[in-house]
Structure 1
Amino acid sequence: MATPNGTKMACPAPMKATSNGAFQGDDPLHFALPLLILQICLVIVLTRALAYILKPIRQPRVIAEIIVSVL
């Protein structure tokens, strides 16, 4: 498929699910499953940290989850 200015467009190659590992020379963040696990861990850590910060003003953990999900 060509764009109006004549350049060709191509879909990017799909991400592979898993890597051979960092010791084999692969960057784990270029693969789908390790990237998903990292993103889930990041959301959980941010939610727990924000819930701890909001605890003195008596906000429930669900408020921290809502704020982190917006971010």
Structure 2
Amino acid sequence: MPQGIDDFTIVFPQFSVMGACELNVYSGLDQLWRMVERYKMTAPVTIRVVDHNDRHVRTISGHQHHTAGWQLKDENKRC
């Protein structure tokens, strides 16, 4: 059963390749970075990506570098 929308849910437009190896689709997640700041979360932040049927697609971790910004790493090691 799909979860409801809350502060910790970010809805993407439906992509056909959510599990693709490219992480650049996630780099513009301004809403996520604002949420991390609002809730005073500390890095590493783990992001679980699910599809529209609430199936797990991939897991990404994010580390914030003081000059380079957020650096994303795919935890699935499928690529």
TM-score by shorter chain over 0.5: no
Q: Which of 1 and 2 has higher RCO (CA within 8 Å, sep 6+)? A: 2
Greater fraction helix? 1
TM-score by length of 2: 0.27
